[in-house]
A and B are shown apart, each in its own frame.
Chain A
Amino acid sequence: MGAMAPRPLVEVRDLQVSFVSREATVSAVNGVSFTVMPGEVLCIIGESGSGKTVTMRSLLRLHPPRRTVIRGHMRVGDHDILALSERAMNQVRGAVISMVFQEPMTALDPVYTIGDQIAETVIRHEGGSRRAAMARALELLNLVKVPSPERRLRAYPHELSGGLRQRAMIALALSCRPSLLLADEPTTALDATVQIQVLIMLRRLQEEFGMGVIFVTHDLGVAAQIADKVAVMYAGRIIEYGSVADVLLRPAHPYTLGLLSSTVHGQTRDAEIEAIPGSPPDLRALPPGCSFAPRCRFAVPPCTAAFPPTALAGLDHAASCLQIEAVRGAVPAHADA
């Protein structure tokens, strides 16, 4: 893989996003850089307010332009996202990059049938007759394993169950064979038995289509299920990046470690869960230095002076922390690893 060094599908460099209002300026993303190779699944893990969704939406330029300041560089395929005209961006949306949302009920148009919505997207981006587009819609519904797809083609979003709606949403997102799929917590609202079906299907489709996928989630279990690479975000920065096994089994950043130990997962019943104390910083007034330092049990004085540089914790595994060694020492040995 290293020898061929193919060009990454997505390259984001020093992305900064802030939202400006009369009351305050919220720095949601503060210098995020990452790459996604073609056919790779990157999971961005983070809690609410970490900037994971904002980062992903920036790739589609979905933020209200008048109140958002975006800086940095974003490239997807051959498109320089921030340099595109609004018109060119509309061609990119749906065709090159498409997105699956958490709540398909709000993302699908309630007054059109599922078939109409897929066919319309196909016609808009690829042209062709309505009939051919409908045939394609049927094919797509088959692909995402919607039972009795002929009937569902004529169904309105509210007539479908949550799981079927999300499948329809995915079919819509895949309708123009995008090279990059953005997924914003697409399974969070689903029941566990349905969630696993959708995750397995997404993984299979991703391999079939050879798409790059950026998958945003707060659930470490979901990341373990679907990711190749994982980026952990905190207060608008990626604080750890690496392969899914490295990050989840051998975390190098105290926040990742804290997330892992506070995820309820077979702990003994009488012991307290090792929770991270405190809550995330105020994005309107970020402290200098590492934003996690006030909550960190490994923190040393230099942590609050300047944001720690990114340090390698292994091959293709990096963390922004001065205390990687100490964190490594505290990682519980995995019985199954």
Chain B
Amino acid sequence: MAAREGEVGTVERRAERPPPTPSEPDAAAQARRAAAERWLVEHGDVLWRFVLGRVRSPVAAEDIVQETLLAAMQSRERFEGASTERTWLLGIAVHKIGDHLRKRARTTHRSGRDDDAPCACEVCRALFSGKGMWQTLPREWDRAGPGETPAADGGEKDERRRALVRCIDALPEGQRDAMWMRDVLGVPSEEVRKAMGLTPTNLWTRLHRARSAVRSCLEAKLLGRREGGAGRSGCGSDRGGAA
């Protein structure tokens, strides 16, 4: 120690910060691994159901859940605790699913679409005049049709949910991820904004366009079915979507 006091420069700086003991990095790796194992136990089933429900392929779902947990291990320190741990993990899964769907879209020759493009489908286009006033009123897909029971029964609700998933998955990638995180998972706006690198105004615009497109898609899907396929073509209604 006496000899160290006489030295200068790098030796002094080293003396300020004791050299890492071999157990430190091992401890960090162990902590990371322990956290991932705990996530697998506590949130594995939810992640599995969420991912499988989106991609429909157990093989792809396994890869995505694994990639999600690995990504979470790497970014564990960045978890700020604004949402629950489960919501944070599901948010990472949303990105991984997005990557998977994008790769699949490339292989099936679906062209990428602009994340901030307004909905240009027939239902959306017909809604407003050039001055932004209603040209065609939104139709009542959320209420029972003539001769139907007022409250949607279980089967009807399931069908609506399936239609909703198909409509969200048919959105351009950025809109789809924003809507999954914000509306389905309930991730706070601030966190979605940070994750996607958007300003508040960009996020509101993106979400508004996504929701408008999904609303139109639901109108076309749900009323088209009631009317035996005679409904107008809605956003995403002519695409298979991911589900």
Q: Do A and B come from one complex?
A: no
Taking beta carbons and an 8 Å cutoff, which residues of B are in contact with A?
Answer: none
